[in-house]
Amino acid sequence: MKIIICVKQVPEITDITIDPNTGTLVREGVASILNPFCEYALESALGLKRHQRDTELVAISMGPPQARDALMRCLEMGADRAILLSDAKFAGSDTWATALTLAEAIKRMEGDFDLIMVGKQAIDGDTAQVGPELAEILGLPGIMYAVGIELTRDRKKARVKREVETGYEIVEMKLPGLVSISKGSLIRPVSSFQEVLDARKKELRAVSASDLAIDQDKLGLHGSPTQVMEIFPPNVRGAGELIDGSQADDAAEKLIAFLKERKFI
């Protein structure tokens, strides 16, 4: 069985810089980490592998050369090998161009697979679009916001527990398919020193745009149908007024006075 985990490197800090000309993140010189939701996706895949020992886990990411660090983290966690899609032609890709590039790499380089797993969203963009778009491009069924996954005995279906507005639901999906992972009860693991050493012996392959033979007009910023026009921080609000509720009558009087003062009542 083969499981592909698509991951992303994200800035480690919240004080980020935006390129005013392209509307994209300036990543040079900024410390980065493996997106936490991608860690949850990989940890879920590792959980499946513990029950299916013949499973191969392949981590794949598209990003600048330093995204290699995020893939090394995947290898340290237990991925068997990794692929880095890195080329200046990929720069500025929106969610669609990213999904298209990932899909082409998966088709050309991996062939048959049983399951694709992704984090539900990246903490730098929060769009949660690449996963569903990737499933659409590859013609796969997809289940989003999963907090638990297991395979049926014949390994032809995945049974997934997913978050919905009213709680949770259990759904089944024929394989191959795609599942996006939310946090649920998962905890980001700490790799042992031996796992860190073993990761250096695993395959980490770099792939350029020429290796994929995608139409150049579909890559990067030029191939992105959407573009960020403006990014700005929200207006800073003053602290609210806290009313002590330990004495109900007194709290009620203060609340009524507050509402009258602001002419709400």
What is the structure's pLDDT at 22?
62
Do 82 and 71 meet the contact criterion of CB atoms below 8 Å apart?
A: yes
**Domain positions in the chain:** 2-218
3-state class of 52 per DSSP?
coil
Which residue is listed with tokens 């049926």?
152
∠ CA 126-127-132, nearest 5°, is 130
Q: Which fold has domain 2-218?
A: Rossmann fold (3.40.50)
pTM of the prediction? 0.81
Q: Which two tokens stand for residue 232?
A: 């700005």
Which residue is listed with tokens 């983290």?
73
Quote the CA–CA distance of 23 and 225 in Å, as a whole number: 14
What is the structure's pLDDT at 11?
84
What is the structure's pLDDT at 71?
97
| pLDDT by residue, tens only, the chain of 265 residues | 999 999 999 987 665 666 666 666 666 666 789 999 999 999 999 999 999 889 999 999 999 999 999 999 999 999 999 999 999 999 989 999 999 999 999 999 888 999 999 999 998 888 999 999 999 999 999 999 999 999 999 999 999 999 999 999 999 999 999 999 998 887 777 888 999 999 999 999 999 999 998 888 999 988 999 987 776 667 778 777 888 888 899 999 999 999 999 888 8
- Listed in sequence order, the residues at least 6 apart from 98 whose beta carbon sits closer than 8 Å to its beta carbon are 62, 130
Quote the CA–CA distance of 8 and 134 in Å, as a whole number: 14
